Amino acid sequence: MKLFFENITDDTKVPMDFPLEAILEQAFEIFEQLPQDDGSTFGIVNESNIVIQFSKYNRFMWLVEIPDVTKHGVHQAICNQNQCIRIIEDLFSEADAMNVAEFKFHSYL
């Protein structure tokens, strides 16, 4: 798996265009260090090159998104931190990205 993230508070990031190889423990460490109240993001690129991005939705919840360029939209789910941790575990266990949460499709058009 590859990771990208942006920590707004610390002004540190690994851009989505150049994600870094990581193991599960590194993913947890980065995700858990992100501030709970800003616009920080975290993402995973799985072995099928599917991008799963986590963005702060509000103080307690995260917006989890999987872009779908061919359908001109994005699959979205709102999850709490514990659900996100489970999603990250599932992704590192090579689960199908579309089955790790109850995603709803939203069209860009």
At 31-77, the pLDDT tens digits run 999 887 768 899 999 999 999 999 988 888 999 999 999 999 999 99
- Distance of alpha carbon 14 from the chain centroid: 13
Q: How many CA atoms lie less than 13 Å away from 25 in the CB half-sphere?
A: 0
Please give the mean pLDDT across all residues of the chain. Answer: 93
pLDDT greater than 90 at residue 29: yes
Phi and psi at 34, nearest 5°, equal -70, 140
pTM for this one? 0.91
Mean pLDDT of 73-91: 96
The predicted pLDDT at position 15 comes to 95
Q: Which amino acid is at 33?
A: Q
